[in-house]
Amino acid sequence: MTRNPQLDMKAREILERNDLGGYTVPTHGLYPFQWNWDSAFVALGFAPFDMDRAWQELETLVAGQWADGMIPHIIFHRDDAGYFPGPDMWASGTTPPTSGITQPPVLASIVRQLWEQEGAAPDHPRLAPLYQACLRSHRWFHRFRDPLGNGLVMATHNWETGRDNSSEWDDALARIDASRVGAYQRRDTGHVDAAMRPRQHEYDRYVAILEFGRASGWDHRRIADSGPFRMIDVGMSMILLRANRDLLVMAEALGDAAAAGELRQQIARAESGMDWLWNEEVGAYCSRDATTHESSGLVTNASFLGFYAGVGNRHQQARLIDALERISRGTAYLLPSLETGSRAYDHRRYWRGPIWLVVSYMVAQGLAEQGHADWALRIASDSAKLIEQFGFFESFSPETGEGSGGADFSWTAAMWLAWCGR
Ligand code: GLC
């Protein structure tokens, strides 16, 4: 791949324009606050040209961490009436106001990357506070979100998975009673085409789950034990395992022997626990309902995070590569968020088909580490082509390459600067 200085400049301008002073909005209009995993990826985008600003992005994120250790999925540093559900709806009672749920824990992996880019000195001045924040967040996951005791992560709201309307959640959502949801005004469909967004009956259920959490006073024990949505998410499970491995490296460097021991145990637990998500019929890791134990049976982009987490025996890895080959024959660009032809596949509708570069990036990183450099390169070059031909969109059609959702998107710009544009 050759560098494209014009697109480098454009990507940098997007980050600068979306910077609201210490934190970056995913895109103006549609998402006007700080989002958890977006900020982590955005830090990777700032790193090549402004390391200080990269660290700062992570520091403003952990400023929203709750006393119980949860790092929220949205931090409302300042209000914006153009978004629903805003701070009043969540009623977190925290300062700053936040949502009451979390998002995929990529943070520790990104802290490690920034720290290593600057030489990995144990006494790096920005490291210790972020390390502590990650440790508290991981402990929160193990305490509240591991109902089966096997190191896998349960999401209690589909928004936590970051793959908001993935068809993996359809059956669980269908069981949710949304009849008592009050009247509300969606804002997302005022910013982008409704054909690219979740449908109304789905959105009602998202709100119903939120209202359950709020009514419990955001009691994370109660939500975990008796909430209406209890899904062992393949994406969050793989990401936490990877993040625990990265946090362990930092614990060792910092001489935190107690935490290192704890992390090794969690890693071992998740390594053997992950087989619970393996679906031999489809030959991939799939999410599974914590209440009904039903596997989604769907191959999504998150299925391939097995490489990133470093799991899978030879047979499982070979079957994942088979699935990748099959998907690559059915689409023009890799890596779609849902296998073409699956139920509810729609190349324009959000997480039911479109390509999301942050997931592609993690998958490519894992593939390269596990000896599949050819596939890693294919995913990176497809990702670069999407940006070169269509712009810095939120997501892209795997069939036509066209952008969907918001434009001038921060994490897409960051992925150009940190990965596929290099
Ligand atoms: C959407 C995405 C989620 C992302 C957020 C902000 O909700 O599904 O993953 O964090 O937008 O970009």
pLDDT tens by residue, 258-302: 999 999 999 999 999 999 999 999 999 999 999 999 999 999 999
3 pLDDT more than 90:
no
pLDDT, average across residues 183-198: 93
> Among 86-100, 130-144, 176-190, 346-360, which stretch is predicted with the lowest mean pLDDT?
176-190
From the candidates 160, 164, 233, 262, give the one annotated as an active-site residue.
164
Per-residue model confidence as pLDDT tens digits over 310-357: 999 999 999 999 999 999 999 999 999 999 989 899 999 999 999 999
pLDDT, average across residues 57-85: 96
**140 vs 124: CA distance, rounded Å:** 25
Choosing from 15, 41, 160, 164 the residue with most ligand 1 atoms within 8 A of its CB, the one to mutate for a pocket test is 164
> How is residue 242 written in tokens?
């990877």
Cβ-contact 60, 34 below 8 angstroms: yes
From the candidates 19, 146, 262, 394, give the one annotated as an active-site residue.
394
Cβ-contact 48, 8 below 8 angstroms: no
100 pLDDT more than 80:
yes
Q: What are all long-range contacts of 139-144, with beta carbons under 8 Å and residues at least 24 apart?
A: 139/69, 140/68, 140/69, 140/70, 140/102, 140/220, 141/105, 141/240, 142/266, 143/69, 144/68, 144/70, 144/220, 144/221, 144/224
Cβ-contact 347, 354 below 8 angstroms: yes
219 pLDDT more than 70:
yes
394 Cα: distance to centroid of ligand 1 (angstroms): 9
Is the link from the previous residue into 336 a cis peptide, with omega within 30 of 0? no
| Residue 90 binned pLDDT confidence (cut-offs 50, 70, 90) | very high
Domain count, the chain: 1
| Residue 85 binned pLDDT confidence (cut-offs 50, 70, 90) | very high
**34 vs 54: CA distance, rounded Å:** 14
Asked if residue 188 has its Cβ within 6 Å of ligand 1, the reply is no
> How is residue 67 written in tokens?
């006393």
- Supply the range of the domain harboring residue 85: 5-420
17 Cα: distance to centroid of ligand 1 (angstroms): 19
**Alpha-helical runs (H) found in 63-199:** 87-90, 107-117, 127-144, 170-174, 188-191
Percent of the chain's residues with pLDDT above 90? 97
Q: What is the mean pLDDT of the chain?
A: 97
The verdict on whether 164 is a catalytic residue reads yes
94 Cα: distance to centroid of ligand 1 (angstroms): 22
Q: Which atom in ligand 1 lies closest to the alpha carbon of residue 37?
A: 10
Asked if residue 32 has its Cβ within 6 Å of ligand 1, the reply is no
SS3 assignment, position 258: helix
Asked if residue 35 has its Cβ within 6 Å of ligand 1, the reply is yes
**407 vs 11: CA distance, rounded Å:** 12
Q: What are all long-range contacts of 63-70, with beta carbons under 8 Å and residues at least 24 apart?
A: 63/96, 64/34, 64/94, 64/96, 64/98, 65/133, 65/136, 65/137, 66/94, 66/98, 68/140, 68/144, 68/220, 69/136, 69/137, 69/139, 69/140, 69/143, 70/102, 70/137, 70/140, 70/144, 70/220
CATH number at residue 27: 1.50.10.10
Asked if residue 160 has its Cβ within 6 Å of ligand 1, the reply is no
Q: How much is the pLDDT for 343?
A: 87
1 pLDDT more than 80:
no
Per-residue model confidence as pLDDT tens digits over 105-127: 999 999 999 999 999 999 999 99
Asked if residue 31 has its Cβ within 6 Å of ligand 1, the reply is yes
Asked if residue 33 has its Cβ within 6 Å of ligand 1, the reply is no
**302 vs 106: CA distance, rounded Å:** 13
**Alpha-helical runs (H) found in 337-403:** 357-369, 373-390
Q: Is the dihedral of CA 268, 271, 272, 276 positive or negative?
A: positive
Q: Which atom in ligand 1 lies closest to the alpha carbon of residue 358?
A: 9
Per-residue model confidence as pLDDT tens digits over 353-406: 999 999 999 999 999 999 999 999 999 999 999 999 999 999 999 999 999 999
DSSP H or E run through 226: helix 220-226
